[in-house]
Structure 1
Amino acid sequence: MTLLFTGASGFLGKNTLPLLSKYYQVSTLGLMDIDDYNVNISENIPELKNRYNVVLHAAGKAHSIPKTEEEVKDFFSVNLQGTKNLCKALEEVGVPDSFIFVSSVAVYGLEFGELITEEHPLTGSSPYALSKIQTEEFLDVWCKKHGVKLGILRPSLISGPNPPGNLGAMIKGIKTGKYLSISGGKAKKSVLMVQDIANLVPLLAEKGGIYNACDTAHPSFHELETLIASQLGKPHPKSIPYFIAKLIACMGDLVGKNAPINSFKLDKITKSLTFSNEKARKELGWEPLNVLENFKIY
């Protein structure tokens, strides 16, 4: 079985490619010289050499807050137009049996909530969320038109060695002693071990469908802080009361978006945001790895 893997040189790809190679003969497409197809699909239609049984489309723009209109457009150029260009290339060599798209729980547009299911409306309004929503919609039409089985993964916060995003920022803060726990770190977050994406690919390729992807434990900030501090050989971060954090956040509101903390960021830290993985577990027979048992920072 052959698989075309886009975005294989990123964080997700580096941690899943060795596992996927056990299931498939993998070709990679991305921006690095080591990729089998070195092409920027946001600007060009790649010239593929072969038809592939499965496509795993993980290439995309994320982990940044746009500051200009041009940066806003980049999300749609990379995530939406890049997908359209990829699909045009697939039509030239023969469409795959299955197409798996790595989307995001950001499509729900929620900052807090518990055990959110795939049935929740897609109300995400950020450029990142909107670009993912529009890409999902495009792929739904394209796959139906060409008889391709579509699988959409909506991962939560992804963990693994040297993770990007918020988890990477937490590790850096604890390592440098510049991280403060707030109100005991009671809020819970859904997290996904990066390896689980590779474990889900063969299941999705066979069945298709839309699924949240996250662990079942939904660790608290306190549990994540404790785990990271232990692996770094650092003491557990000091905790400050909520009312002190709120005062600091209000001052941050006056400074603007570049403040270390503001009311928006405080809400994200102190309110739980978890997603349900029940559908994937029941329909795909998938059991996610426990993040607190498997996460290693390096």
Structure 2
Amino acid sequence: MKLLFTGASGFLGNNVRPLLEGMYDVTTVGLLPQDDYIVNIAKEIPDLRVRYDIVLHAAGKAHSVPKTEAEKQVFFDVNLQGTKNLCTALEKKGIPRAFIFISTVAVYGCDFGENITEEHSLEGVTPYAMSKRLAEEFLQKWCYEHNVTLGIIRPSLIAGPNPPGNLGAMIHGIRSGRYLSIAGSRTRKSVLMVQDIARLVPLLVEKGGIYNVCDSYQPTFRELEAVICRQLNRNLPLSIPYWMAKCMALMGDCFGKKAPVNSQKLSKITESLTFSNEKAVRELGWRPINVLENFKIG
């Protein structure tokens, strides 16, 4: 089957494309010379050459905190308008059998919690969360009207070689010797191996649905630190008590979001946030890859 893959040149795409090419005839949409369609879908409607059986829509704006209204608007341009432009292109060339959308657990708007399920209300208020939620709503309506099987994946923190976001920051901090563990790093976070995105595609093509996806085991920060330190041949970072970190955070509040630690960042570091994958395991028969055994930092 022919699969159209947007965002194939990003972190996720680089890691899952080789796996997808073993299952499908893959064509990519992106901004780099190696993409088959070089187009900015946030601003243009792609001129597709053929009809595709499956669409895997991973192109999106993430991993940044907007400071201006213009920067906030970029999230909606890419994540929402880009999705609409892609669907317009599909209508012109041929409706696919299945559409799989890479969303995010950020749509729930939770800073902490344990085993959050798909039944949780969508309360995310950041431009990232809101733009992804609106894209989900648009696709649910569009796929219903065109009789397309829709699969929506809400990944947690994604692990893989040279990851972006918080995991990438942790690796950089440990490598540079500027990383401090706080209160024994007992906080737990849900993590997903990036390869699991590719393994979910054929399952979603058949059944569709909305799913949280993460490893069944929720590792602590300390366990992730240990995996990274072993690969970097470094000692585990020093752990400082919570009261000391709190004092540093209060000082950081005076300097705003640019401070290495402030109260908001400290809260994210020291409060657990985990999601339930039970629905995906039960309905799709999916068995996630164990993160602690398979995470290679690159």
Q: Same fold (TM over 0.5)?
A: yes
Alignment TM-score, normalising by the size of structure 1: 1.00
Indicate yes or no: 2:179 matched with 1:179. Answer: yes
SS in 1 for 2:115: strand
Structure-2 residue corresponding to 1:142: 142
The Cα shift of 1:256 comes to 0.4
The Cα shift of 1:254 comes to 1.1
Indicate yes or no: 2:49 matched with 1:49. Answer: yes
1:172-229: per-residue Cα shift (whole Å, max 9, x none)? 0000000000000000000000000000000001100000010011100000011101
Structure-1 residue corresponding to 2:213: 213
The Cα shift of 1:22 comes to 1.0
Structure-1 residue corresponding to 2:65: 65
Matches of 1:229 and 1:238 in 2, distance apart? 12
SS in 1 for 2:96: coil
The Cα shift of 1:243 comes to 0.2
Matches of 1:129 and 1:252 in 2, distance apart? 26
SS in 2 for 1:224: helix
Matched to 1:177, the amino acid is G
Matches of 2:148 and 2:94 in 1, distance apart? 11
Matched to 1:169, the amino acid is A
SS in 2 for 1:246: helix
1:52-80: per-residue Cα shift (whole Å, max 9, x none)? 11000000000000011100000000000
**Aligned pair count?**
298
Structure-1 residue corresponding to 2:35: 35
Identity value in percent: 67
Matches of 1:257 and 1:174 in 2, distance apart? 21
SS in 2 for 1:147: coil
1:232-289: per-residue Cα shift (whole Å, max 9, x none)? 0011000000000000001111110111111111011111000000000000000000
Structure-1 residue corresponding to 2:159: 159
Structure-1 residue corresponding to 2:76: 76
Matches of 1:113 and 1:265 in 2, distance apart? 16
Matched to 1:2, the amino acid is K
Structure-1 residue corresponding to 2:121: 121
1:120-151: per-residue Cα shift (whole Å, max 9, x none)? 00000000000000000000010001111110
SS in 1 for 2:5: strand
Indicate yes or no: 2:111 matched with 1:111. Answer: yes
Alignment TM-score, normalising by the size of structure 2: 1.00
SS in 1 for 2:60: coil
Listed as ranges, the gaps of 5+ residues in structure 1 are: none
Structure-1 residue corresponding to 2:271: 271
Indicate yes or no: 2:25 matched with 1:15. Answer: no
